[in-house]
A and B are shown apart, each in its own frame.
Chain A
Amino acid sequence: MINWLRRNKSAQGTLLISPTLVFMIGLLIIPLILTLIISFGKRSADGNVIYSFGLHNYIRLLGVSYNCSAGQTVCYDPIYTQILWRSLTLAFNSTVVVILLAYPLAYFIARSHPSRRNTYLFLVLVPLWTNFVIRVYAWMMLLRTQGLINSALAWVADLFGRPFTPLEMLYTPGAVLIGMVYEFLPFMILPIYTSLEKIDGSLYEAAADLGANAVRTFLRVTLPLSAPGMVAGTVLVFIPVMGAFVVSDLLGGKQVILVGNLIQRQFLDARDPTFGSAASLILMALTLVVMFFYTRKFGFGEEIAIT
Chain B
Amino acid sequence: MFENLQDRLGSILNGLTGRGALSEADVSAALREVRRALLEADVALEVVRDFIERVREKAVGAAVLKSIKPGQMVVKIVHDELVEMLGSEGVGVDLIAAAPVVIMMVGLQGSGKTTTTGKIAKRLTDRDRKKVLMASLDTRRPAAQEQLRQLGVQTGIDTLPIIAGQSPTDIASRAVQAAKLGGHDVVLLDTAGRTHIDEPLMIEMAEIKSRAKPHEILLVADALTGQDAVNLARNFDERVGITGLVLTRMDGDGRGGAALSMRAVTGKPIKLIGVGEKMTELDEFHPRRIADRILGM
Same assembly = no
